[in-house]
Amino acid sequence: MAHIRKSKSNSLVCDTKKVLLAHIKQGNHLTIALSGGIDSIVLLHVLVMLSKQMQFTLSAVHVNHGISRNAVLWSRFCCDLCYAYGISVYVAYIHIPKESGISLEAVARDERYRIFNHVQADYVVLAQHLDDQAETLLLQLFRGAGIKGLSAMPVVRKQLSDNAPQILRPLLEVSRSRIESYARQNKLNWINDESNDSITFDRNFLRHDILPILRGRYPNYSQTLLRTSRHLSEASLLLDELAAIDSEDCLVSGKLQVDGLRQLSFPRAKNLFRYTLLQQGADLPSTAKLEEILHQLLSLSSDNQFHISFGTTEIRCYQGAVYILARKKLSEQPEQCQYIWRGGAFLTLQHLSGTVRFIQAENQGIDQQKILNKVITVRSRSGGERFTPACNRPRRSLKNLLQEASIPPWERTMMPLLFCDDKLIWVPGIGIDCEFQVKSGELGTLPIWNRE
C-alpha cells in the first residue's frame, strides 16, 4: 500500500472535497462501499485524506456476493486495507441465486442497496464516476427506459427508509482515465474482477466494444451524455411537480380517485399514477403494463371491484378509490386463530401481522367491570356476527356496518375482533358494543389495532 503523497492528482482530491463540502457536515459518518476495484480504492484513498482535513468519521462496507471463486480473497484484501488505514470495515455475505430470466447484475445491485439501507451512517459513499453515467444512460436507452430512467444519477439520493443513510456519489464528474492516473501516481493496489472482462454482460460489452469506437469519433462523448442526462433529470423533476399539482385534485386521504384521474388527459393520468406508485414505495410495472392497468381503472363502473398484481404490489379499487398495497401481506389468507387476552398492554397477532394495544382512556373504551372474570378472546371474522356500536340504534349485522364504514372487503378478513365469551364487543374502525361501553367520567380500556 502506498503512502499518501502530494502529486498532480491532487486536483481529484480538490474536486472530491468540493462535493463533500456542499453536502456533508463536520462530524458526519461516511461509509464507503468498498469493492476492492480501482474506483473504490481511489475513493478510499481520497476519503482517508479528507476525513482528517474535514473531520468526518470514515468506515467501509464490503459486500461479498459469493459469485466469483476469488470473492473470499477480495474480502480479505479489503479488510487488510482498511486495517492499514485504521478504519473499521463491515463485510456483508449474500447469496445471489442464478435464476433464468433474471439479470445477475440487477439482482446483485438490488442486494447491495439492501445492505446499504441498513448501514449505520449518515452517508454511504459510492465510487460511480463520469463514465458510469454515460454507460448507464446508453444501457437505459437500449432498454427503452422513460425520462426518469434516463436521468443522471444524482450526487445525493435518499433511500426508501427514512432511517437509512443517504447515497453520496462524489466522483460523478471524474472520468475513469483520471481515476486510473491517480491510482498509478499514488502506486495503489487494487483487485481485478474477472467478470469485468466478460462481454456477456451488457455493461462490459458497451465498455469494451462500443465506447472505444464512440471515443474515437466523439472524444468528449461522456461529458455530452452527462449534459443530456441532466436535461432529462430536469424534465423528470417537472413531471413530478406536475403530478404533485394533479394529486391535489385526485387524492383523497392519500388514495387516488378514479373520477379525478378521468378528468386528466391520459398522459397526465399515467404520469400521476406512476408518481403515486413511486411515492408509496411500490414496484413500477413496465410501461405497457402500467397503461393496461390505467385503462382498466378508467373504464371501471362505480360498483365494480378491481384487483391486479405485479411484482410485490397489488392494485385494488373500492368505491372509486385506488389502493396500492403490498402483495405479500394480502395474498396470505389469515388462519382462524384465537388468542386469549389476559389483561396485558398489548396482544401480538401473528396470523394478522399486527398488534392490538390496550390503553386506559377517560370517557371511552370498555368498562372493566363488564368483562371481569370473563374469557376475553381475539379472533378473525367468520361471518354472521352482530353488533350494537350505538345505544340509540338496533343491533345490526357486522357485514352491513363494515360496508357503511367503507372498509374494503379484503381488509375485513384481516381485522381482529374482540369477544367477551361469545359476544362481539369491539371492532376496529367501528367501535365498542353499547352494552360494554364505559360510562361518562369513568376510565375505560381502549383497544387500538396497529397493522404492520
Q: pLDDT at residue 331 above 80?
A: no
Q: Residue 413 has which C-alpha cell?
A: 378478513
Quickly list DSSP for 68-86: STTHHHHHHHHHHHHHHHT
Average pLDDT over residues 261-288: 92
Between residues 97 and 410, the one the model is more confident about: 410
pLDDT above 80 for 97 = no
- Could you tell me the end-to-end alpha-carbon distance of the chain, in angstroms, rounded to an integer? 49
Nearest one of 276, 245, 244 to 258, comparing CA atoms: 276
Reported as a single tens digit per residue, the pLDDT across 233-265 is 999 999 999 999 999 999 998 899 999 999 999
Cell numbers found for residue 228: 443530456
Q: Given the C-alpha cell 379499487, which residue does it identify? A: 317
In sign, the C-alpha dihedral spanning 445, 449, 450, 452 is positive
Q: How confident is the model at residue 330 (pLDDT cuts 50, 70, 90)?
A: very low
pLDDT digits (tens, 9 = 90+) for 283-328: 888 889 999 999 999 998 866 778 898 888 999 998 889 999 887 5
Grid cell 382512556 is found at 361
Helix, strand, coil percent values for the chain (each to nearest 5): 45, 20, 35
Under the banding of pLDDT at 50, 70 and 90, the label for residue 276 is very high
pLDDT of residue 333 exceeding 70, the answer is no
Mean pLDDT of the chain: 88
3 state SS of 306: strand
- Output 303 or 64, whichever has higher pLDDT: 64
As a whole number of angstroms, the distance between CA 24 and CA 159 comes to 16
pLDDT value for 2: 44
Pairing of strands 313-318, 376-379: unpaired
What pLDDT does 335 receive?
A: 58
Between CA 195 and CA 96 the distance in angstroms is: 15
Average pLDDT in the 216-235 region? 94
The amino acid at residue 404 is: E
- pLDDT at residue 99, rounded to an integer: 60
Task: Identify the residue with better confidence: 333 or 340.
Answer: 340
Residues 149-197: tens digit of each pLDDT? 899 889 999 877 778 999 999 999 999 999 999 999 999 999 988 777 7
What is the per-residue pLDDT across 376-435, written as a single tens digit (0 to 9) for each? 888 888 878 888 888 878 888 888 888 888 888 888 888 889 999 888 989 988 889 888
pLDDT value for 303: 65
| pLDDT score for 35 | 94
Q: Tell me: the pLDDT tens digits for 354-365?
A: 889 998 888 888
CB 121 within 8 A of CB 58: no
User: What pLDDT score was predicted for residue 8?
Assistant: 52
